[in-house]
Amino acid sequence: MAERRVTVGWAEGLHARPASIFVRAVTATGVPMTIAKEDGHPVNAGSMLGLLGLGAQGGDTVVLTSDADGADQALDRVAKLVQEGLDELPAA
């Protein structure tokens, strides 16, 4: 299972606009993955409701995981998005 631990770079955390950007980015990878707060319960990273339920704030550490084909590359791209608080998924 591939895993990435990253600090949430959006000051407002994974709420509203950043959560929408995140879900679109995860969906764009085509790779199923989960997200959890450190030592928390993982949720489907492509689910807006699941993501909002995490309550992840700016500066929190989150864990992204996947065991699908292409997981390493997809997790790297999404991790960069989260860590840097980007407005869109970085180019491949």
Domain that holds residue 71: 2-84
One digit per residue, pLDDT tens: the chain, 92 residues?
999 999 999 999 999 899 999 999 999 999 999 999 998 999 999 999 999 999 999 999 999 999 999 999 999 999 999 999 988 766 66
In degrees and rounded to multiples of 5, residue 26 shows phi and psi of -60, -45
Is 89 among the domain residues?
A: no
Burial level of 49, CB count in 10 A (0-12/13-18/19+)?
exposed
Q: Are 2 and 71 in contact (CB under 8 A)?
A: yes
Is 40 among the domain residues?
A: yes
Nearest to 29 by CA among 73, 74, 71, 62: 74
What per-residue confidence (pLDDT) applies to 83? Answer: 94
Instruction: Tell me the CATH number at 21.
Output: 3.30.1340.10
Residues labelled as active-site residues: 15
Token look-up 């500066």 returns 59
- Structural domain count of the chain: 1
Is 56 among the domain residues?
A: yes
Amino acid at 8: V
What per-residue confidence (pLDDT) applies to 65? Answer: 98
What per-residue confidence (pLDDT) applies to 92? Answer: 62
What per-residue confidence (pLDDT) applies to 16? Answer: 87
Neighbours of 80 (CB within 10 A): 16
